[in-house]
Every structure is written in structure tokens, then in C-alpha cells.
Structure 1
Amino acid sequence: MNGLRSATRVWLACLLLGITLISGKAFCANGTSPKIVRNISYMAQGGDPKLNALDIYTEAGTSNRPVIVFIHGGGWRNGDKVMGAGDKATDFTQEGYVFVSINYRLSPAVTHPVFAQDCAQAVAWVYGHIAGYGGDPKRIFLMGHSAGAHLAALISTDTHYLADVGVPMKALRGCILLDSAAYDMRPGAPNDLIPKVLIRKAFGSDPAVLKSASPLVYVAAGHDIPPFLIFYVATRDTSRQQSETMARALTAAHVPVEVKPAYDKSHRTLNVGLGTDGDIPTEQTLEFLAKYK
């Protein structure tokens, strides 16, 4: 159903905008594919030229489109913006969004709070420059997978990250989280062996640090926290427990939240399947985006 709706929408847009469809993909009248601008540095000084960079997926001639900023996973130690984008970049661009995929510095070269600070710096760059690429800086959605979901949740709840770089929380229209078990890192929080090992390697074992890195700690009313869409893999108990606990806290703080179990998905396929035809989480994501854009 999603594929038929998307194909129909793209076909109609092609008629109106002079775009040609070849093998199901959208091409502009001059034969070029949707525009990709790669490796834009988002830090004015310092940082790592490769890791403090982002890619923008957009379409020529557009303006004031809502923006999705995607934060890749990889246990805060691995991963990258190109692999993270996948089919999501093409699909959401065709659905009327500007898609931005970011890198950030990784452990063990850096430690908390640098991961989140880098992501906030990337959002600040988007806020200040995305209008030049067809995006609306007042309509930004954060999306992340695994460790990236943790970071998206952290900078959407701990307001100082965006405040420190001059971005108002109200610029965030929503936060979409793909299967993390790190919303609460404090000792005693539900978790299984793999996340515990990854958390310890990236954040250490100091309870004060683990508390400061836990998005759940910062959920409170009156902080302009955006609406949340939280996915968890249905067969993964710790992700379900963490997601449901996060959702209860958001609800208590009067923040709109939806929690969706992803059936017949693994931690990996939930992410790589997003943006593909017939994918239920994709349809649910598009419904959430439409509601708050």
C-alpha cells in the first residue's frame, strides 16, 4: 500500500514538474537524480573533518520542506552517515522532506558528552543553513537508530545541548527512535549483555556519568520536548522495557508519544527496511511526520 501510494504521488509530481520516471526512480528533466551534497563540515573549527560532516539529500527547485536529521548507530564506536541513510534518504526525499545524514566523533577517541555535542552542532548547522537546500529550519525532525536513537533522544530531552549552540527546542517537530536500549543507562535499568558491554566501553561505569547520559532523566513538563515516535523490535525485551518506560515518562510530562512494536524485524532490519516499499514502520513513520510537520 505504501509503495502504491508513493509511486502514485511521485508520478503525479513528475507530470507537474517535468520529471521522468525510469525503473521506478525519480529523475529530473535533465536526467539527473535527486541532488546529494556530501561531506559538508558542520563545525566552524576543531573537530574531525571526516566525522564532523553531514550529507544532504534534497530535490532541486524546492523550498520550505520539513527536514529529517538522521543519526546512525554503531554502539557509539562504529557506523557512518552513508550506510545509515540507505533507502530512507531516497524515500523520504520523494515524500517531500529534506534528508540529512550526519557523522559524529566516536569512542574511544572521544567520550561522553562529545557524541551528543557533535550531534547538536550538526543540528545547529542545519538550523542555520538548510534553507539554502530547500529545507525549513523551523521544522526539524530527529531520527536515530540504536546508539543514534539514544543520541537523538538525549538532545531532544536535555535542553542544554541545543541551547548551547543557539537552536530553540521549538525548532524540533518530532523525534523518531529506532530500537535503542539506552534511554536509561543507570545501574539497575533493564538491559541485556550486549548493550551493557557497549555502554561500558563508550561511557564507562561511573554512575554520575551514566545518569547524565540517560535521556529518561531529563523528561519533564515545560521544556518544549517534541513529540516522540518510539520503535522497538518486538522480540527484544530490554528494548521494549526501555521504550515503554521512556513513553510513560513522556506521557507524564504531557509530551505526545507513540510506541510501536516492530514485528518480524531484527535490530538491523528495522533500520535498513525503513524507506522500502510495503514496510509497516515506514508507513507509521510517514503518518507521524505528517501529523507534526
Structure 2
Amino acid sequence: MKLAFAPLLLLGLATYAWIAPVSVLNAAAWGGDWRVTHDISYMPGARGRLDVYAPSGVKDAPVVVFFYGGSWQDGDKAMYRFVGAALAARGIVAVIPDYRVYPEVRFPVFLQDAARAVAWSRGNAGRFGGDPDRLVLMGHSAGAYIAAMLALNPAYLGAEGLDPHRDISGFIGLAGPYDFLPLRERVIKVIFGPPDELARTQPINFVTPGAPPAFLAAGLRDTTVEPQNTMRLAARLRAAGDDVRERYYPRLDHRLIIGAIAPPLGFLAPVLPDCLAFIHAVTAVQPFRSAA
């Protein structure tokens, strides 16, 4: 009876942890020998600040810049302590920036902000024990869109003096919208602009040979961003000869794919181990080659 009941109890606790305020996940964030520096300014304004989670005593560690989601309309770096803590506890310097969102800005301003955060991270990684030449972009939902656009369209990082082919070791997209035309929601139509210019808003349209390696993952229970976004981008990258790994988690939906990084939900799927394996593969001395 106890053995049969235990999985139900764990699932109930995990479900509560995700339904409850995100403070539950943050309270259960990884412990360990790491430190966080809050509210570092990377550009003017209240949304131009970032937090850095750094393992203590490291040198030349991989660096991950994580972009959160929120439909390009909301979100706050403080909500994602559990992500920064999970990475820092595993020896990775994690940077989590805020960026401007609608209605303050529209496309492509949030991408320009994100590019500035990446440039800051590359220029300052060494202060926190990170190696600027081992930099990975990572995002969830709208943040995965941002990571993909910065990695695939060189214009945004190029405006900051960076080249994604040279300066980005890889990118991770969790439940990202990469190929989501036609637009249906009124607010999203306003955010992304005139119909005749929408092609330039889609990450899948910027796939070229030589793109940074990618790890793309989605939950098969996701009804917010269809997993086919991930499937189509992965197929396009593979057709271009680019390195890509993809993973689909049967038990996860749109929120649980990021929540599974936190300890209370980690048993649902190996999202964190999969991301870590990719980060270490693409930041190793030997070049990464897809096993897929």
C-alpha cells in the first residue's frame, strides 16, 4: 500500500508546488556553494537589469544567459531563481536579465535588449568566474524565441559587435514558438506588427548552414505552444546540416517543462540533466556533433 501510494503523493506535492506561487519553487531551489548578485545594470531603465548566479571558486566556467517567457508581455527575473540556482549549483555561471515588454515596446525591441544583455554577459563573465568563449543562450517559451532569434539572425548580436557563429557556443529552447504564423491573438498581432513584415519575426526563416548547435525540447502535453514548433525548427536545422538535438517529454506541459528544473518537479522529466549534458557538450574543447 505504501509503495502504491508514494507516486501519487509525490505527484500531488509536485502539482501543488507548480500551482502555488513560484516562491514555492524558488524556496526549494538548489543549495550549494554559489552566490547571486542582484540588479546589475546592463542598460538604462528599470527593465535593464540582470541577476548573476555564480558558483564559488570557479574559473573559466560555462556561461548561460537565460531568457524567461511571458508572451512578450510580462515576466520578472526574480521569478526564476530556481533556474539560476540549479545551474550555479552545477558549476555554471547563469545570467538572468529582465528585458522590456509590451506595451512599453514591441518587436524587435525586446530582441535588441536581449542582445545587449548577451553582450554584457560576454564582456563581464570573467568577473564571476565564467569563460566568455563558452557562452550558451537558453530560454523558455517567449524566452526560447528570443534565444533562437539571437542565435539564428545575426543582425541582433551583430549590432552589439558579436557574431552568433563565433561568439555563441549553442542555444537551448524549451517550449519555444519558432514558426507560429498566422497570428491569431489581437495583442500578439500588435506586438509583431504589419502582416507583410511578419516573415522577419519567425526564427525558422533565419536557419542557415553553420548555425550554433541547438537543443530543442517540448512537452507533449503543451497546448500553449504546439510542440510542432520544435519539430519544424529541428527539421529545418537538420536539413541545413546544423547540429541539433531534440527531446519530447510525454508528461510535461508548457509550464512544467521549465518547472521540472526545480527539485520538487525534477522527477517528472530529466529537463535539467538534458540541458546540462548539452551545455557541457557544446562548451567542451572538442566540437559538438549531434547524436540524432
The bucket for the TM-score relative to the shorter chain is: 0.7 to 0.9
What value does the CA root-mean-square deviation take over the aligned residues? 2.0
Q: Does 1:163 align with 2:158?
A: yes
1:25 aligns to what?
31
Instruction: Specify the alignment match of 1:239 in structure 2.
Output: 226
Task: For 2:57 and 2:197, locate their aligned partners in 1 and report how far apart those are by CA, in whole Å.
Answer: 46
Q: Describe how 1:125-140 pairs up with structure 2 within 5 A.
A: 125-140=120-135
Q: Distance in 2 between matches of 1:72 and 1:185?
A: 18
Determine the structure 1 residue equivalent to 2:78. Answer: 82
Aligned-partner Cα distance in 2 for 1:292–1:59: 20
Is 2:282 the partner of 1:292? yes
Q: Equivalent of 2:178, from 183, 193, 213?
A: 183
Q: Does 1:251 align with 2:238?
A: yes
Q: Is the 8 A contact 2:138 2:171 kept in 1?
A: yes
Moved over 6 A (4+): none
Distance 1:157 1:24 in 2: 32
Q: Does 2:194 match 1:199?
A: no
Q: TM-score, normalised by structure 1?
A: 0.80
Do the aligned residues in 1 keep the contact of 2:77 with 2:98 (CA within 8 Å)?
Answer: yes
1:154 maps to amino acid: M
* Cα 1:176–1:24 shift into 2, 3 Å: closer
Q: Does 1:208 align with 2:214?
A: no
What residue is the counterpart of 1:266 in the other structure?
Answer: 253
Q: In structure 1, what is the equivalent of residue 51 of structure 2?
A: 55
The letter for the 2-side match of 1:243 is T
Q: Is the 8 A contact 2:30 2:82 kept in 1?
A: no
Alignment-mate amino acid for residue 268 of structure 1: R
> How many angstroms does 1:74 deviate by?
0.4
- AA aligned to 1:291 is A
Tell me the secondary structure at the aligned position of residue 150 of structure 1: helix
Deviation at 1:168, TM superposition (A): 2.6
Per the alignment, do residues 138 and 198 of structure 1 end up closer, same or farther by CA in structure 2, a change over 3 Å counting?
A: farther
User: Which position in structure 2 is the counterpart of 1:7?
Assistant: none
Post-superposition CA distance 1:150-174 (Å, at most 9, x none) = 1111111001111110123222111
Structure 1 residue 40: Cα displacement = 0.9
TM-score normalized by the length of structure 2: 0.80
Aligned to 2:97: 102
Deviations 1:230-279 (A, max 9, x none): 11120237622111110111011111111111221121111122143444
Question: How high is the sequence identity, in percent, across the aligned residues?
Answer: 32
**5+ long unaligned stretches in structure 2:** 1-28, 284-292
Closer/same/farther in 2, CA of residues 258 and 96 from structure 1, 3 Å limit: same
Partner Cα distance (2:89, 2:228) in 1 = 34
Partner Cα separation in structure 2 for residue 40 and residue 161 of structure 1:
22
Can you give the 5+ residue segments of structure 1 that lack an aligned partner in the other structure? 1-22, 28-33
